A and B are shown apart, each in its own frame.
Chain A
Amino acid sequence: MLEHLNAEEIKPQRVVIVGAGGFVGSTTARNLREKGIATIELTRNEINLLKDNAAHSLAEYIQPGDALVVISAIAPCKNSTQLVRNLQMMEVVCEVIAQKGDHLSHIVYISSDAVYADDVSLTTEESKVEPSSMHGMMHAARELMIKTAAGSTPLAILRPSLLYGIKDPHNGYGPNSFFRLVKQEQNISLFGGGEEQRDHIYVEDVAEVIAQTLLHKSKGILNIATGISVSFRAIADKIVEVAKADIKVEPTERKNPITHRHFDVTAFRKAFPNFSYTDIETGLAKVEQEYSEMV
């Protein structure tokens, strides 16, 4: 649940984004710029959090009154090497927070719904953090690290569900890889019949939630999810439809049990009552439009 320290929207004087070159980071940075919010956009080019002296370099960017948005991660985190590196990156961020904590007005950490157990029937912010993947464990550990480092500085932890958008670098199973297959005129191969239901979020919505969190100087934990879960089969069919593609959506023999993820978004409704998510049809149509514009 988020608590807004600003009842009305107030622009932060400046936002330092760590990880501004990535999928979510770049979208967030553009969103904030469009709102007229000053940003310091730190990509791997400006700061490599795994290099010596990274903390010192990062600290030099922080000015009194800054808000800090931490998005940078090696993601998806798939093995123990990546897990350790991600924690080292967060260690640097935490060191800077410890040094500059008095200077920071607000901290926002972009985590993931992977922190929750796979078998939760209805996920809320109160659901137990019980990750079953390296990626989830990475975010769970980083949440604890940054929470400990933040102390009394207001901290918001946002846990988005599965993201989609044209710039997604992961190419994981779902809308992003389905779109790429369609664009390569390849058939979409489902896991089993694609029955699993997930809550898919358009990346622009995530950026807007981050912006709203900054504007309201919110603290606490919030899931970013629409509350409407859709099967992978339905997603694949919709993508084929919006792309007007002449390819097949093919089931395969099921190797793993079917799991679903549904969100109870009541806390989100309470936090941002006037926020409307992009529905899946509109979001996929927007991605298709972006592909068309690229051509």
Chain B
Amino acid sequence: MSLKVGYAGLTHLGLNYAVAGASKGFDIVGYDPNPGRINDVVEPGLPEALENNKTKLHFTNQIQDLKSCDIVYIAPDVVTDDKGQSDLTYIKQMIHDVVEVLDGKTILVVLAQVPPGFTSSVKYPAANKFYQVETLVFGQAVQRALQPERFIVGCAVGEAVAPKLQEYLDAFNCPILPMGYESAELAKIAINCCLVASIGVANSLAEICEKIGADWSEIVPALRLDKRIGEYAYLKPGLGIAGGNLERDLATIVNYATEHGTDKNVIQSLRTNSAHRRNWPLKVLYEKVLSKNPQAKIAIWGLTYKENTHSLKNSPALHLLADIAGKDITAYDPVIKHLQGVVIASTALEAVKNADVLVIMTPWADFKEVDPNLVQQQMRGKVVIDPYAVLADTADFKYFTLGKEFVC
């Protein structure tokens, strides 16, 4: 008989993992007090996966429906504040409510982003209580949930991965790494710290490139061929970390370092560098446009914190909008159609009409499809600030991108 697996919490995290489980043939119960929120989640391939597996997916607002599950994942997205601090109130309440309807024999897996020590503190029989690292990436969530690189599973001291959980995870055909709860919880944070460190290095060196005539995009392929760095290393310069999860993990490490008296300078520097690079578009905008023409009409493409998501959490675009409030701004984003106080155009080309400057804040693939010559025809000015090098610099633009010297 096929396992029945429950997911409590149907925001981005729970929904994508639930869909992945259904895709592997398991019966899935998706519980959320407001299951209608699944319609708010934007991910490539998600609508198709929901449609293809609808017979395996049962969404409910009845918590008792989890009773019949062999495994229940606690999977709400844990919200953070502006400083990256987690608010664990909701997940604690959800665990409390879920545990009340389970009999203790059901396998309980904490999948959400929690600090080390959290799973140990959950009151539930240790042999059936696990923590599992989630490694979803906004914009690639379905693919990563279906094809994980490995599973990292936190277990109680002396306990192995429970057979039913092992059976479920085996269906994904990847290595399973059991370890202690705290190790697994810290492993999740360690992964993100390594990623941010790579981004921090890329950003620091890209900034040097902008000053000395080097081109970071020429250097990156050389780094990727170095096995110690690797093909998939995070080497693209960006506008600092955003989205909430990476910020949370850095904040957690800084908090632990402060509490336990370990060195926090490396992690703190990554946060500082992130904040510094977030201001890159603003600096270029002032230097190249607003210092000469304070009344300039500004077009902004992209509002979400990255492509293929609806999330605006810590989005560099929102920071930029706040910093240039009061200016003549028209924005366009493929998924954000309303934003208080901002004129939103219905197309990318409409947004650039008569603009003196175009700032591309999110590297949506849609923008790559736009003919730069049409953009130029619509614009009044020629300045394009394109940190992620989305729009080809083929037209007669004054073009500025990360990691490349400003030549105009």
Contact = CB atoms under 8 A, between A and B. Distances in A.
Contacts of B324: 273
A96 to B, nearest CB: 37
A274 B324 CA distance: 11
A264 B291 CA distance: 16
Contact of B283 (A124, A266, A273, A276): A266
A264 B323 contact: no
B290 interface: yes
B272 interface: yes
A274 B286 CA distance: 10
Given A264-B276, A269-B286, 9 more contacts: A124-B276, A126-B272, A266-B283, A269-B282, A269-B323, A273-B286, A273-B290, A273-B324, A274-B294
Nearest to A126: B272
B291 A276 contact: yes
Residues of A in contact with B, size category: 10 to 19
Given A266-B282, A266-B283, A273 B272 contact: no
A122 interface: yes
A197 to B, nearest CB: 12
Interface string B288-302: 001100100000000
B296 to A, nearest CB: 12
Interface in A253-295: 264, 266, 269-270, 273-274, 276
Nearest to B327: A273
Contacts of B323: 269-270
Interface string B307-333: 000000000000000011000000000
B279 interface: yes
A124 B290 CA distance: 21
Main secondary structure on B side of the interface with A? helix
Residues of B in contact with A, size category: 10 to 19
A175 to B, nearest CB: 22
Nearest to B285: A269
Contacts of A270: 282, 323
Contacts of A122: 276
Interface string B253-294: 000000000000000000010001001001100100011001
A241 B279 CA distance: 36
B276 A273 contact: no
A20 B5 CA distance: 76
B294 A273 contact: yes
Interface string A96-133: 00000000000000000000000000101010000000
Contacts, number: 21
Interface of A: 122, 124, 126, 264, 266, 269-270, 273-274, 276
Contacts of A266: 279, 282-283
3 smallest CB-CB distances across A and B, nearest first, come from A266-B279, A269-B286, A270-B323
Contacts of B290: 273
Contacts of B279: 264, 266
A122 B321 CA distance: 24
Nearest to B294: A274
Nearest to A124: B276
Nearest to B324: A273
Nearest to B295: A274
21 contacts: A122-B276, A124-B276, A126-B272, A264-B276, A264-B279, A264-B283, A266-B279, A266-B282, A266-B283, A269-B282, A269-B283, A269-B286, A269-B323, A270-B282, A270-B323, A273-B286, A273-B290, A273-B294, A273-B324, A274-B294, A276-B291
A122 B275 CA distance: 13
Nearest to B325: A273
A276 B293 CA distance: 11
A242 B168 CA distance: 79
A87 to B, nearest CB: 31
Contacts of A276: 291
Contacts of A274: 294
A139 to B, nearest CB: 23
B357 to A, nearest CB: 15
A222 B403 CA distance: 28
Contacts of A124: 276
Interface in B85-101: none
A269 B276 CA distance: 14
A229 to B, nearest CB: 12
Contacts of B294: 273-274
A260 to B, nearest CB: 12
Interface in B334-348: none
B328 to A, nearest CB: 13
Contacts of A126: 272
A264 B282 CA distance: 12
B360 to A, nearest CB: 20
A276 B323 CA distance: 17
A289 B338 CA distance: 54
Nearest to B286: A269
A270 B272 CA distance: 18
A269 B283 CA distance: 8
